[in-house]
Structure 1
Amino acid sequence: MASPRLMGEEIINQEIEPRSVSKRLVRSMSQKLKRKSQKNESSEDDETSGVSLRCLTLYGRGGGCRVSADMDEESGDPGSRRRSSASEDGKGTTWGKDDASVDCFSIGMDRFFRRNNNRRLLKCSVVEQSNSMNARLPDDVLEMCLVRLPLASLVNARLVCKKWRNLTATARFMQIRREGSFLSSWLFVFGLVKNGYCSGEIHALDVSQNQWHKIDSQILKGRFFFSVASIHDDVYVVGGCSSLTNLGRVDRSSFKTHKGVLVFSPLTKSWRKATAMKHARSSPVLGISEVSQDYFLSRNQQSRAEKRLHRSRAGGATDVYEDPHRLSVRRQSRHSLDENEVSLSDTIKLTRQKHEGSGSSNRGGGRKFVMIAVGGLGSWDEALDSGEIYDPVSNKWTDIQRMPLDFGVACSGVVCDAVFYVYSESDKLVGYDVDRGYWIRIQTVSSPPRVHEYLPKLVSCKGRLLMLSVSWCEGDGQIGRRNKAVRKLWELDLAHLKWEQVSTHPDAPMDWNAAFVADEEDDVVFGVEMFKIFGQVIDFVTVFDAASTSGWNHISRNHNVAHDLDASSCMTKSMTLLRL
């Protein structure tokens, strides 16, 4: 039996032998890596890639050699297991001074991670810097980017985040869009009927993109024969009727006439209620006039005077005893207006001078507008000759002077140079001076010939008063050729009060209630006509460039949304224009 000393030596030799093998293996591998690194020293990329491919397969995370660690684990030495686990956890290694694995790690892995990490850090810094720039973009720069978007893109941009939505909904943002050249014309068509019911749908045409959009409005369902007008970015829906027996249907046998006013904002697709008119009206004639700041002061003073006058009358005093001079002046002014002693040219000159003088102040403090509503049909389907004016600032309606006697039923009106021109079915023309608050009879040299079934339409472009009417054309002067109806555009010479023909519409007048509106910014006239033929509603949009001689052009024909409409939409429709 061997002595304990010999047995101890054998155990020591068994423990040393695998370790010596592992050291020799590690030393040979490290020498091979050193020789390969010296050969590839001229190329840094090859050097790092050669070291990384072999070194990563041999070495662990902590820098120790995986081959030696595996052999230590095979040897069964618990101390070696502790050392290898410690090295894998990244806490360091317990290799000796002559251990070549440490040199391999310092030469291969250090260079590999140093160069690749530098590249990754550079890319990450660039991406992070760009993201931080987008996140920290100043509000004024972001505002200038969003203000140049078309309306359809702007509506989609508001869905990105709350910041963009709040930034594009401010009054300053809207003011920048109005003052800049970022707005385009939009046509809004109301009062359409589908399947016998007033659907409340609004069809909007983006003229720049030549694209139709449909907007559903529950608040307008069942309402028909109302009028629309636009102020700034809002559309005012004034008056109208609704059926009492057949809810939602166009029925004039039993109906209710409204005096309420609704305001629609296309930018936010929101509705609100404005102060109702003093009188219920269906199909009133509307006009939008720009006024100066002095107008509101004078209106306030006039309202105070009317209140004092009303209190004095309530006390029993008559006009003569209360103020005889005021009564005589009022009677003389009424007589002079009836006799047409007020010159229209003088009124236009005064209004132009007044607005030119206050133009700078209006631009600085914002443009002020008022809306005038005259005529229409009352609660008992009677023709009205009264009128009232609406101030959006104070949200109040004020009665104005009635239209002159024997004027007839008002059918169309437009504001031109602060004068509200109204045309009647009896071919008479009057003007309302918005600043001074009185009517002027306008006796023209001759009225344009027209077919009485087609009502004339007044529009205004850059201080020009235009009218569209349908008249008979006597076969173009050729014998035996049938007469045909054509739609002509006329202009009133305000100096000589004479109508002059401007152009002829290329299409046959198929719509009895064609809608026309002018865009004074671009000096063009838009027209929308609808008619039913072969059981289908056909529509088309035309434009006339008043600044050139190009005539009329078609910009939209027979869009798909109009196919489902009823023929009654031709009579109930109304249109307005907004620059959004």
Structure 2
Amino acid sequence: MAIGRTRRSLRDLLLDKEDAEDDGFGASARRRTSKRGQFRWPSLCRLGKGAACRVGACEDCIVVGECQKPRGRASETGRSKDSEEIVPARQLPDDLLELCLLRLPFRSLHSARLVCKKWLQVTTSQPFLRRRSGDFARSSWLFLFCLNGGQGELHAFDTCLRQWRAVRADLLVGRFLYSVAAAGGEIYAVGGRSSGARTRRGVVVFSPLAGRWRRAPPMRIPRAEPVLCVLETAEARFLLIAAGGRGGEGEPLDSAEIYDPAAEEWRLIGDSPVGAACSAAALGGAFYVCSRTGRLGRYDPGLGLWSRVEASPAPPRLPSYAPAIVACRGRLFMVCVSWDRTEMARRRLWELDQGRMAWTQFASHPDAPTDPGAVFVSDRTTIYGLERFAVFGRAVQFLTACGVGPGPAVWTRVSTRGSARSRESMAVLRL
């Protein structure tokens, strides 16, 4: 039957299904055949070229799967009774429309904005973005910031579909050696250096849900490769800490500062008790920083005080590989490289027992540690690691994941791809 013919509603499909169960396949097949003997599709509408809007956003369309013919045309074919029972998209209340759009997957949200101006206005409003990045976040996305020929690039990885996608990063042009952190549904790129080797204080913010870049207040002290950490507070607020890094002359920095997005300002919080920090994590309402020697420091934002964290025995580690700390499921972990019993270097994951203040081995990484600059981040339930390997003279990136739960942890390979780009930093965000 031609596409321009009247298509059946969802109720007719359900009736056909019941008839098929009662009368058998032959009777159901006869009902799906039109008067001209042509087969009618037993599915929702399938539009071809030249059809109207596909989601029922136009003024004269009826929402049944995809867009239908106008009401006047439906009444000519005797379908006015069915059409009156279906609510047009333009008559949906704003709160109901917002609830429907909030449940769209992240990869479909940008396509929905092309439907009409109203959908664009709803999906880009600040209340919508706050709700979408909170209770309606579905899956984790990894955002990899890297350099390619001196130009900054941004690549996003969908952990569900396991696909990489390129993202425009205009504000990163001419900037490198910066650090990134995910907070409040956005990604903060802090500090770094410009093409003139000038250390920067500037901060740029990328919103994946809105698809926009913006600038944030700069830090107090210029920093290249600062250590970033995000602490979530009450009422969907957060604090961002920037510690360590290198100054304008390349000297290591012991100082740290905190950014409060509500006040839109940075403030200094003193020097870290462990010296220059190489990694940081947030746990239990406090910031933890780690030095290259494996020493831990703790900062309490409520008291405004630094303190040393004494944990023994310290995890064994090789000096050429800096340790990294991550927090996941309310537990603190440290990633270190050490020798095993067969004199092979292994990357291990250690957990801090906060009751006994002792480190215990949690998991072992499957790959040989050939990349001293490996990056490790975590979301609510998983720890992700990204390393570079040279395979037959070609640079290859391996993305691995380790689920954190009550049972034994196992590292698995998530993605493998060849890349000639130099890695900068990585952040994980639930969208």
For residue 426 of structure 2, what is the aligned residue in structure 1?
575
Structure 1 distance, partners of 2:75, 2:354, is 76
Which of 388, 402, 410 pairs up with 1:530?
388
Which of 349, 372, 378 pairs up with 1:489?
349
For residue 373 of structure 2, what is the aligned residue in structure 1?
513
1:155-166 equivalences in 2 (<5 Å):
155-166=110-121
Q: Any idea what SS the aligned residue of 2:228 has?
A: strand
Assess, with a 3 A threshold, how the Cα gap between structure 1 residues 390 and 119 changes in structure 2: closer, same or farther. Answer: closer
Structure 1 distance, partners of 2:409, 2:283, is 24
Amino acid at match of 1:160: V
| Pairwise CA distance, 1:485 | 0.9
For residue 200 of structure 2, what is the aligned residue in structure 1?
258
For the 8 Å contact 2:278–2:290, the answer to whether it is kept is yes
- For the pair 1:223 / 2:223, whether they are aligned, the reply is no
Structure 2 distance, partners of 1:256, 1:182, is 38
| Pairwise CA distance, 1:134 | 2.8
| Pairwise CA distance, 1:429 | 1.2
1:549-569 deviation per Cα after TM superposition (whole angstroms, max 9, x unaligned) = 2511222122xxx43x24xx1
For the 8 Å contact 1:200–1:216, the answer to whether it is kept is no
Structure 1 distance, partners of 2:253, 2:142, is 29
Amino acid at match of 1:396: E
Structure 2 distance, partners of 1:425, 1:118, is 73
Which of 235, 253, 268 pairs up with 1:399?
268
For the 8 Å contact 2:178–2:226, the answer to whether it is kept is yes
Amino acid at match of 2:294: D
Q: How many residues align?
A: 359
| Pairwise CA distance, 1:420 | 1.0
For the 8 Å contact 2:385–2:399, the answer to whether it is kept is yes
For the 8 Å contact 1:238–1:262, the answer to whether it is kept is yes
| Pairwise CA distance, 1:494 | 1.6
| Pairwise CA distance, 1:119 | 9.4
- For the pair 1:169 / 2:119, whether they are aligned, the reply is no
For the 8 Å contact 1:149–1:182, the answer to whether it is kept is no
| Pairwise CA distance, 1:394 | 1.4
For residue 384 of structure 1, what is the aligned residue in structure 2?
253
Amino acid at match of 2:144: V
Structure 2 distance, partners of 1:410, 1:534, is 35
For the 8 Å contact 2:389–2:398, the answer to whether it is kept is no
1:145-156 equivalences in 2 (<5 Å):
145-156=100-111
Structure 1 distance, partners of 2:167, 2:186, is 15
For residue 362 of structure 2, what is the aligned residue in structure 1?
502
Structure 2 distance, partners of 1:458, 1:540, is 20
For residue 408 of structure 2, what is the aligned residue in structure 1?
549
Which of 266, 272, 277 pairs up with 2:214?
272
Structure with the largest fraction of strand: 2
| Pairwise CA distance, 1:578 | 0.7
Structure 2 distance, partners of 1:471, 1:123, is 77
* Gaps in structure 1 of 5+ consecutive residues: 1-116, 245-254, 292-361, 476-482
1:22-44 deviation per Cα after TM superposition (whole angstroms, max 9, x unaligned) = xxxxxxxxxxxxxxxxxxxxxxx
1:15-74 deviation per Cα after TM superposition (whole angstroms, max 9, x unaligned) = xxxxxxxxxxxxxxxxxxxxxxxxxxxxxxxxxxxxxxxxxxxxxxxxxxxxxxxxxxxx
Amino acid at match of 1:193: L
Which of 227, 237, 240 pairs up with 2:189?
237
Assess, with a 3 A threshold, how the Cα gap between structure 1 residues 118 and 400 changes in structure 2: closer, same or farther. Answer: closer
1:270-305 deviation per Cα after TM superposition (whole angstroms, max 9, x unaligned) = 1111111110000111111123xxxxxxxxxxxxxx
Normalised TM-score (structure 1): 0.59
Q: Which of structures 1 and 2 has the bigger CA Rg?
A: 1
Structure 2 distance, partners of 1:243, 1:387, is 25
Assess, with a 3 A threshold, how the Cα gap between structure 1 residues 154 and 118 changes in structure 2: closer, same or farther. Answer: closer
Assess, with a 3 A threshold, how the Cα gap between structure 1 residues 491 and 119 changes in structure 2: closer, same or farther. Answer: closer
Which of 151, 156, 162 pairs up with 1:199?
151
For residue 329 of structure 2, what is the aligned residue in structure 1?
462
Amino acid at match of 1:231: A
For the 8 Å contact 1:401–1:437, the answer to whether it is kept is no
Assess, with a 3 A threshold, how the Cα gap between structure 1 residues 493 and 155 changes in structure 2: closer, same or farther. Answer: same
Assess, with a 3 A threshold, how the Cα gap between structure 1 residues 286 and 120 changes in structure 2: closer, same or farther. Answer: closer
| Pairwise CA distance, 1:128 | 6.0
* Gaps in structure 2 of 5+ consecutive residues: 1-71
For residue 287 of structure 1, what is the aligned residue in structure 2?
229
For residue 243 of structure 2, what is the aligned residue in structure 1?
374
Amino acid at match of 2:403: D
For the 8 Å contact 1:289–1:434, the answer to whether it is kept is no
Structure 1 distance, partners of 2:254, 2:301, is 17
Normalised TM-score (structure 2): 0.79
1:404-458 deviation per Cα after TM superposition (whole angstroms, max 9, x unaligned) = 2xx3331111111122111111221111112111111122222111111111110
For residue 113 of structure 1, what is the aligned residue in structure 2?
none
| Pairwise CA distance, 1:241 | 1.1
Amino acid at match of 1:519: D
Structure with the largest fraction of helix: 1
Q: Any idea what SS the aligned residue of 1:279 has?
A: coil
| Pairwise CA distance, 1:462 | 2.0
| Pairwise CA distance, 1:120 | 5.6
Structure 2 distance, partners of 1:383, 1:172, is 41
RMSD: 2.1
For the 8 Å contact 1:228–1:574, the answer to whether it is kept is yes
1:210-269 deviation per Cα after TM superposition (whole angstroms, max 9, x unaligned) = 11110121221221111111111111110001232xxxxxxxxxx110011111111122
For the 8 Å contact 1:408–1:426, the answer to whether it is kept is no
For residue 96 of structure 2, what is the aligned residue in structure 1?
141
For the 8 Å contact 2:130–2:185, the answer to whether it is kept is no
Structure 2 distance, partners of 1:136, 1:579, is 32
- For the pair 1:437 / 2:298, whether they are aligned, the reply is no
Amino acid at match of 1:205: F
Structure 1 distance, partners of 2:426, 2:114, is 29
Assess, with a 3 A threshold, how the Cα gap between structure 1 residues 437 and 256 changes in structure 2: closer, same or farther. Answer: same
| Pairwise CA distance, 1:526 | 1.2
Amino acid at match of 1:443: E
Amino acid at match of 1:574: S
Amino acid at match of 1:180: D
Structure 1 distance, partners of 2:206, 2:137, is 21
Amino acid at match of 1:371: L
For residue 180 of structure 1, what is the aligned residue in structure 2?
135
Assess, with a 3 A threshold, how the Cα gap between structure 1 residues 401 and 552 changes in structure 2: closer, same or farther. Answer: same
1:404-419 equivalences in 2 (<5 Å):
404=273, 407-419=274-286
Structure 2 distance, partners of 1:526, 1:185, is 11
For the 8 Å contact 2:293–2:319, the answer to whether it is kept is no
Structure 2 distance, partners of 1:188, 1:284, is 18
Structure 2 distance, partners of 1:234, 1:178, is 9
Q: Any idea what SS the aligned residue of 2:119 has?
A: helix
Amino acid at match of 1:484: M
Amino acid at match of 1:212: W
For the 8 Å contact 1:193–1:199, the answer to whether it is kept is yes
